[in-house]
Amino acid sequence: MIVSDILTFKYPNGECQRVQKLVFNNWSQLEFLFPSYSEESFEHLCALYENYIIPKCPWIFGKLILFRIPDDMSVPFPFETERYGTVSDKTTAAAIALRQGVVIIGGRPVFRTKAVREFWSALEKSKCVRVICGYLPNTTVLPVGNWSGFLSECEPDAAVKTNSSFFIMDRFDCASAYDCIGSTIGLLVKDGLVINPPMYMREALIVRKDGSCSIEVPELTDLTIEINSSSINKDSSHIYCRPECRITPKHKGKDIVIIGSKVAAIHDGGNTFVPSSGFVASVSETDAAPGDQVVYRGYKDVSFGIQGGNSAVIDGRKTEYFKSPFYNIKRLWSTSYPPSLYPLDYCKDRAPRIAIGCDYTGRPVLVWAEGAGKLRYTPGVDSCGASLSEMANICQNIGLKNALNLDGGGSAQILINNRRSLLISDRNPDDSEAERAVPVGLMIR
């Protein structure tokens, strides 16, 4: 049984906040949902940059090149370069070539090689490249992966669908040529299978097979990493992650660049860029190759796990501050890592929010705090959006024992029988809703 309630909270200053609370029976009902790629997602992403992200803070952005490569398009660039090693896919190879071969001047591309110019022309014909300009003079290349889709367009017969994890989306999160917009960040576990590894000391909701539910901070060192059925030896290797490391030190062995469950690149001799969406394993020797699958072992007792943050409630007590250095990047670290522009005011920065947790009987609960529309907001009529502090209050007040914030903002939504009861915050210029494509969601069939 699934029970959904719409609650409205009134604030003393006349503002209001609508919240959807959804309770279901047990964690076994919950599955990870990987939407089919939507051809429209690239256009929607570009529109988001053009209509909201750049106009909001144009002085922090330079000239952005967003591009994607259709599945049937080949690239005329080598998959192996001295600086980046051997990469696993054509999107990365193209990102490296575009970084080196094009610069935006006066809003137009200037090419350094004929191959890059011809490739750019092919992208333009396929409507797969866009230049969006901020005020700064520098040029940044942002590859977009072919794996994000719209929740409303997939699994139409599902009882419940919602967005879930953080993913690479910000210009500042594409910190290396290996990074790609749409890459999922953080732990995903279902029935002991680790779908995506933990990162960045962020909190996670962990449900064990004995039924216990808790907020924990999983780390990559908790797991055994296997490639081709061989474990990476922890005694003779070293794992490098951001923000502690931007480029690995030089050495005589090999660097294995790993993103999610795939070897993204192999680079000899160290001096390897560490991706924001993954990590680098430095080893003396390896038979791993780009594209190989990576397996993580160590969570056999976990029936469901997802990493997000910040926590909202832990053992009945609301969280009063940022619990992880992940959220204090501007204060603690000089090396960028996602999300680079995360709001730093815990009590004041409002946005749409999604939380997942359990009540005092152990039942799973989803919570959606509706946000204000990005282009227009009427106080007292539209939801104002919740700060992380306000979301913690909401989760505590509606009876959650443990609760964790998932990816909020324009991604936040809950669909029941493929319909939303609240409004998403991303808007088109006519103020209609603009659903944001996501790489992973949660689903109850």
pLDDT tops 80 at residue 216: yes
Task: Please report the pLDDT score of residue 427 as a whole number.
Answer: 79
Least confident stretch, 181-185, 227-231, 331-335, 424-428: 331-335
What's the rounded mean pLDDT across residues 22-28? Answer: 94
Confirm if 352 and 435 have CB atoms less than 8 A apart.
no
Pick from 272, 190, 283: nearest CA to 233: 283
Contacts with 439 (C-beta within 8 Å, 6 or more apart), sequence order: 34, 35, 145, 147, 148, 165, 167, 182, 183, 184
pLDDT digits (tens, 9 = 90+) for 87-107: 999 999 999 999 999 999 999
Q: Which residues pair with 295 in a beta bridge?
A: 226
Task: Please report the pLDDT score of residue 333 as a whole number.
Answer: 63
* CA pseudo-torsion sign 347, 57, 37, 75: negative
Task: Please report the pLDDT score of residue 330 as a whole number.
Answer: 57
What's the rounded mean pLDDT across residues 202-223? Answer: 95
Contacts with 29 (C-beta within 8 Å, 6 or more apart), sequence order: 364, 444, 445
Name the average pLDDT for the chain.
93
Cα separation, 144 vs 270, whole angstroms: 27
302-307 and 204-208 strand pairing: antiparallel
Pick from 104, 84, 86: nearest CA to 96: 84
Domains of the chain by residue range:
3-36+149-221+298-444, 41-143, 224-296
pLDDT digits (tens, 9 = 90+) for 43-84: 999 999 998 889 988 999 999 999 999 999 999 999 999 999
Task: Please report the pLDDT score of residue 328 as a whole number.
Answer: 61
pLDDT digits (tens, 9 = 90+) for 375-423: 778 888 889 999 999 999 999 999 999 999 999 999 999 999 999 999 9
pLDDT digits (tens, 9 = 90+) for 270-312: 999 999 999 999 999 999 999 999 999 999 999 999 999 899 9
pLDDT digits (tens, 9 = 90+) for 225-281: 999 989 998 888 999 999 889 999 999 999 999 999 999 999 999 999 999 999 999
What's the rounded mean pLDDT across residues 318-337? Answer: 74
108-111 and 102-105 strand pairing: antiparallel
Instruction: Tell me the chain's radius of gyration from C-alpha atoms.
Output: 22
Angle between helices 114-125 and 90-101 in degrees, nearest 10: 120
Cα separation, 125 vs 106, whole angstroms: 21
Cα separation, 109 vs 102, whole angstroms: 6
Task: Please report the pLDDT score of residue 445 as a whole number.
Answer: 93
**Could you tell me the pTM of the whole model?**
0.94
pLDDT tops 60 at residue 366: yes
